[in-house]
Structure 1
Amino acid sequence: MTEYERSRAMPALPEHVFDQAANVGQLESWLPDELHVHAEDPPAVTVHEDQTDQDTPAFLRPRPDQMRLEWGARHDGGYTGHLQVAGLGSGTSEVTVHLSFLDDEHDPGERAVQEALDRSLERLEEQVLLRVDNVGG
């Protein structure tokens, strides 16, 4: 099993960050460009990957009381992950994304995963800032 984790501070309340991250209709605004999530019967979703042109049955489980979003493959158990939001005080938050690949077949490699995590967290921050700016003014 291979695990990866990245964190990023964001200038917004943890509730705002979690609400943006867990919004199924807006996941594609911050997920890697090649991944597309189609909601089915929650927590069931299908993830389409452009590179392989494959659909994978998955689950997406928001846990608002813990400010945590969990996901993974439904059938083969090839990967799991979670996003955790924590308040840092003064209206800021830290978002941590953790991915676990249970076998090498699903692991795209450290460099690819770290770049995707960094870009996803950057895009999430952009979306959070857009939302906070729109709410504030």
Structure 2
Amino acid sequence: MAEYERSRTMPAQPEHVFDQAANASQLDAWLPDALHVDAGDPPAVTVHDDRSGQDTPALLRSEPDQLRLEWGTREQGGYAGRLQVAGIGSGASEVTVHLSFFDDAHDPGERAVADALDGSLRRLEEQVRMRTENPAG
């Protein structure tokens, strides 16, 4: 089993960050570029991976009272992740994403996961900034 975690500070209240991260219609804006979520009937969703061309049945659970998202594969049980938002004062938040690969065959490796997590957190911060700088958007 392999586990990875990355965190990033964002200049917004934790509720605003969580609302942006948990917006099912905008997940593709911050997820790794090759992944797309069809949130047809939550918590059951389908994840499409452009690299493999495969659709994978998955689960996506939002826990707004805990500012937490959880996801994972439905049938294989090879992968799970979570995003946690925490307030750190002065109107800022820390977002932590944790990934667990239970099947080594699904683990893309430390460098690939680190790059994907860093890119996703950067894109989420961009989305949060756009939303807080332009509340109508």
User: What is the TM-score when the length of structure 1 is the normalising length?
Assistant: 0.98
Consecutive aligned runs of 4 or more in structure 1 exceeding 4 Å deviation: none
Q: Kindly provide the CA deviation profile for residues 41-62 of structure 1, in whole angstroms up to 9, marking residues without a partner as x.
A: 1100000000000000000000
Residue identity opposite 1:135 in structure 2: P
Report the secondary structure of 1:135's partner residue. Answer: coil
The residue that corresponds to 1:99 in the other structure is 99
The residue that corresponds to 2:54 in the other structure is 54
Residue identity opposite 2:68 in structure 1: R
User: Partners of 1:2 and 1:99 in 2: how far apart?
Assistant: 8
How far apart are residue 67 of structure 1 and its match? 0.1
> Which runs of 5 or more structure 2 residues have no equivalent in the other structure?
none
User: Partners of 1:91 and 1:65 in 2: how far apart?
Assistant: 18
Q: Kindly provide the CA deviation profile for residues 54-100 of structure 1, in whole angstroms up to 9, marking residues without a partner as x.
A: 00000000000000000000011010000000000110000000000
How far apart are residue 129 of structure 1 and its match? 0.3
CA RMSD of aligned residues (A): 1.2
The residue that corresponds to 2:123 in the other structure is 123
User: Partners of 1:16 and 1:83 in 2: how far apart?
Assistant: 14
Report the secondary structure of 1:40's partner residue. Answer: strand
Residue identity opposite 1:33 in structure 2: D
What is the aligned length?
A: 137
User: Partners of 1:113 and 1:49 in 2: how far apart?
Assistant: 15
The residue that corresponds to 1:109 in the other structure is 109
Q: After superposition, where does 1:3-14 map in structure 2 within 5 Å?
A: 3-14=3-14
The residue that corresponds to 1:70 in the other structure is 70
